[in-house]
Structure 1
Amino acid sequence: MVDQKLLLDIIARYEATYFAVNRQINSLFREAMPEGLTVEQYSVLRYLRKQGKTNSSELADTFCVGRSSITALTTRLFDKQLIERQQDSKDRRVTYLKLSPAGEQLTDQSEIKIQEMLALHIQHFDEQEALQFITTYEKLAKVMSGTYGIEGGETEQ
């Protein structure tokens, strides 16, 4: 276990670094996105790109926002013709959301731009540093989501 003084120092460094990196990543995302699309809207499009289709409740849970916020956001994306709504064939109360062809094209183009921009920064790490960073960051994500130690035989230390 880390001693208290060191722990507080690590937390302060994490907060400062997180703020700086997050601000820059949001800036990169805004550069890669077309005019009139917010980072939140683009994040939903990226999620739909990876998932294929989902419903509003899952999006709200995934992005830790209320269902009314997701409804407003997805309505804007629908109005921009970037997503489509599809009713479940067995339960008409369930509506799935998926990318439209225009949404697929937009995310394809934007993903290339984002990957190119992130690669410019990641290339400053050697292979070992990059792998150690992502392994540690993935561990943090699992710890924070409560899944650390559940899959893959990981043990808590």
Structure 2
Amino acid sequence: MESDSIHAIISAYENLSVYTTDQVQEAVQKVIKKYGITFEQFCLLRLLELKPGTSPIQIADYFNINKSGVSIRIGRLVDKGYIEKKMIDNRSHGLYTTEAGKELFLKGQQKIHELVGEWIRELGEEDSKEFIRIYWKINEIIKKQRVNK
């Protein structure tokens, strides 16, 4: 592939990625603002709702951030009563959403589903499935690159 073509594709990706991410953040902004959390904290809450018992080390790996950064984020959500720590064994603990955290997650998730649902209806089933297939492929490339670093 030619350099100009690669540059054009990268530029298009940047524009689309930033815009769509912004649209998703905007969709949940009213909900998270009401609950006093950031979009990043909402993403952490979402992970814990989908994978209860996740450890801080697993969170750091999942979001590709350092453990001290995870500790700060966890502390803020614990202080607000949206997640709680439960001992798994004598040396480690897992993180779980509280009832308040579940409520917040569901309200934010509903906003995302409404927005993305509109996109999917416009795209149609075939294009939506193709988009997800390609996005999964990109995700796998990202995972491989992390492992190789």
TM range (shorter): 0.7 to 0.9
Give the counterpart letter for 2:9 in structure 1.
I
Residue equivalent to 1:63? 63
- 1:79-121 per-residue CA deviation (whole Å, 9 max, x = no partner) reads 11111111123xx221211111221222123222221122123
Equivalent residue number for residue 151 of structure 1 = none
Task: Determine which of 98, 105, 108 is the counterpart of 2:106.
Answer: 108
Asked if 2 retains the 8 angstrom alpha-carbon contact of 1:83 and 1:98, the reply is yes
C-alpha distance in 2 between matches for 1:88 and 1:62: 20
Q: How does 1:125-136 map to 2 (within 5 A)?
A: 125-136=123-134
- 1:34 CA drift (Å): 4.7
Which structure's residues are more often helix, by fraction? 2
Matched pairs, number: 144
TM-score when scaled to structure 2? 0.87
1:34-62, Cα deviation, whole Å (9 max, x unpaired): 52111011101100011111111111111
What are the ranges of 5 or more consecutive residues in structure 2 without an aligned counterpart? none
Asked whether the equivalents of residues 85 and 95 of structure 1 are also in contact (C-alpha less than 8 Å), the reply is: yes
RMSD: 1.7
Please identify, of 27-36 and 3-12, the stretch whose mean Cα deviation from structure 2 is larger.
27-36
Pair 57,63 (structure 1): closer, same or farther in 2 beyond 3 Å: same
Q: Is the 8 A contact 2:77 2:83 kept in 1?
A: yes
Identity %: 26
Q: 1:120 aligns with which of 118, 121, 125?
A: 118
Q: Can you give the 5+ residue segments of structure 1 that lack an aligned partner in the other structure? A: 148-157
Larger RCO (CA within 8 A; separation ≥ 6): 2
Q: Which has the larger Rg?
A: 1
* 1:56/1:71 contact within 8 Å kept: yes
Q: Which moved more, 1:104-113 or 1:129-138?
A: 104-113
Q: Which moved more, 1:137-146 or 1:113-122?
A: 113-122
Hey, what's the Cα distance between the residues in 2 that align with 1:32 and 1:123?
A: 24
Aligned runs of 1:3-82 on 2, under 5 Å?
3-35=2-34, 36-82=36-82
Which of 96, 120, 144 matches 1:146? 144
Render the CA deviation track for 1:123-146: whole Å, top value 9, x for unaligned.
221221111111111111111211
